[in-house]
Amino acid sequence: MAIGQFFTAHWLMNRWDRLRTSFWFLPSTLAVVATGLSFLLIQVDTWVGTKLVQQLGWLYTFGPEGARAILSAIAGSMITVAGLTFSITMLTLQLASSQFGPRLLRNFMRDRGNQVVLGTFISTFIYCLLVLRTVRGTDESSFVPHLSVAFGVILAIASIAVLIFFIHHTATSIRIETLLAQLASDARCAIDRLFPSEMGDEPPAHASGRIEQISLHDFGGNAQPISAPSSGYVQHIDGDLLMQLAIEHDLIVRIEAPPGSFVAAHDAVLTTFSDHCISDETLGKLRQVAVIGDDRTPTQDLEFSIRRIVEIAQRALSPGINDPTTALYCIDRLEEAFGYLAQRNPPSPARYDQTGRLRVVVEVVRFDELVCSAFSALARYAGSDADVVSRILAALFRLRAKAPPDQRQALSDVHEATFRFSQEALPYDADKAAVYKAYQHGSRSGEFLVNRRETDFGCGPTPR
């Protein structure tokens, strides 16, 4: 639910995203279109009459009984196929949830192809029912909507094509390669939105020296928290609206819960700092900035986008599934996403207006923290698989070369820890030699400054 009582662009985007990820919205829309189309074509049939239709040789011309028979056959077959399609879709969701994790159901539910297929069958069924009610063949009156019946036949043919597409699409969508490509695309889109952003620019060159010395502690007496009305995950932060309100009301705002954070009821989402009292109206507007929901979304939550790929790899490496090839695919996609992120300049945590005044303070996701978290989680599961460990070491080596200089040591620590853990976990000398070769490749290149102290799978050495 939204924080506040007003509609904002991000609130509307969140609601639209919920509609897109539902099975009912697009099929319901197509059903409404089919209803309107049935009334329209029946009215056209009434206007043109039977004589004009008989002059068109390519149209089917039926008597009342024939029209009822063909419309009934189409309607009956469509509702049967629609039920079959729903069953196959539910089985696909169950398979995806058990094989890849429940966090990936969102991708299957928002699949536009499945929604169009369901909508086509349902709308064809409704169209034929509504046209069927107008067919009359009594002694007092007789009416057969020939154009409407012919369009029903066209819809039936289109439904057969859609059914063939659905079978192919379902078989393709559950392939791990297709799914990982979609997740990697979501991660790239999240990177494009977050790195860099306009709010993340460094202060303008004409910023005053006083601005550089501003501390939030100067406003400690007038700090005003903006709390969440209910528990949930922060899904969106409207950065443009936040900056606009901060400028209009001369505020400094700190984002306490960035997208992806879980907040309990009445926890602070934002904190405002000002040397003057803030009106209730302004506080009400600030409550529009954040949108809270029951689950995490990848729109502004890059960590969640990465975590979904990591989860697939962890499940693939579990003893119950034992699919290391899938884990190798996941590592490749993780390296792709992190390599894309390494090309972007991280935004500044302190964000300024055009006059150089500090307005927004936000925690920025660090490249090394994301990389260390993802590959450390995989290394714990992959310690006894030489192929996966070697691929992790190679990916860390290449990513370290792309990382900012001040963040490379953390990747070196994870690289060292992964190697040491694998040497203890691998049962065969041949596997140890293969992993050592991958490890030495990075060490001999001079890219890795190996930390010889004891390390764990965090982003740095473990204190003695």
Task: Give yes or no for residue 57 having a pLDDT over 90.
Answer: no
Task: Give yes or no for residue 449 having a pLDDT over 60.
Answer: no
Give strand pairing partners of 137: 142
Q: What is the pLDDT of residues 76-88, one digit of tens each?
A: 999 999 999 989 9
Cβ neighbourhood burial of 341 (10 Å; 0-12, 13-18, 19+): buried
Task: Read off the pLDDT band of 52 (50, 70, 90).
Answer: low
Task: Give yes or no for residue 462 having a pLDDT over 50.
Answer: no
Q: What is the DSSP string of 224-259?
A: EEEE-SS-EEEEEE-HHHHHHHHHHTT-EEEESS-T
Task: Give yes or no for residue 204 having a pLDDT over 70.
Answer: no
| CB contact at 8 A, 214 and 358 | yes
Overall average pLDDT of the 165-174 stretch: 90
Overall average pLDDT of the 83-96 stretch: 88
Q: pLDDT at position 220, please? A: 54
Helices 367-381 and 324-342 pack at an angle, to 10 degrees, of 170
Overall average pLDDT of the 444-463 stretch: 43
Q: pLDDT at position 353, please? A: 85
List the strands of the sheet with 358-361, edge to edge: 224-227, 268-273, 252-255, 358-361, 350-352
The share of the chain scoring above pLDDT 90, in percent, equals 36
Q: Which helix (H) or strand (E) holds 352?
A: strand 350-352
Overall average pLDDT of the 100-114 stretch: 84
Q: Which two tokens stand for residue 199?
A: 């709010």
Overall average pLDDT of the 399-419 stretch: 90
* Distance set, CA 348 to CA 8, 286, 361, 409 (Å): 26, 22, 9, 21
Please report where in the chains the tokens 């196929």 appear, as a residue: 81
Task: Give yes or no for residue 49 having a pLDDT over 80.
Answer: no
Q: Is the bond into 64 cis (omega within 30 degrees of 0)?
A: no
Q: pLDDT at position 56, please? A: 59
Task: Give yes or no for residue 141 having a pLDDT over 80.
Answer: no
Task: Give yes or no for residue 9 having a pLDDT over 90.
Answer: no
Cβ neighbourhood burial of 35 (10 Å; 0-12, 13-18, 19+): middle
Q: Picking from 10-19, 62-71, 156-165, which range would have the lowest pLDDT averaged per residue?
A: 10-19
Provide the 10 A C-beta neighbour count for residue 241: 16
Q: Picking from 139-143, 307-311, 449-453, which range would have the lowest pLDDT averaged per residue?
A: 449-453
Cβ neighbourhood burial of 358 (10 Å; 0-12, 13-18, 19+): buried
Please report where in the chains the tokens 């609601």 appear, as a residue: 15
Overall average pLDDT of the 135-143 stretch: 73
> How far, in Å, CA of 418 to CA of 455, rounded?
9
Q: What is the pLDDT of residues 213-243, one digit of tens each?
A: 344 555 555 788 888 878 899 988 888 888 9
Mean pLDDT of the chain: 82
Task: Read off the pLDDT band of 17 (50, 70, 90).
Answer: confident
Residue 205 or 195, more confident: 195
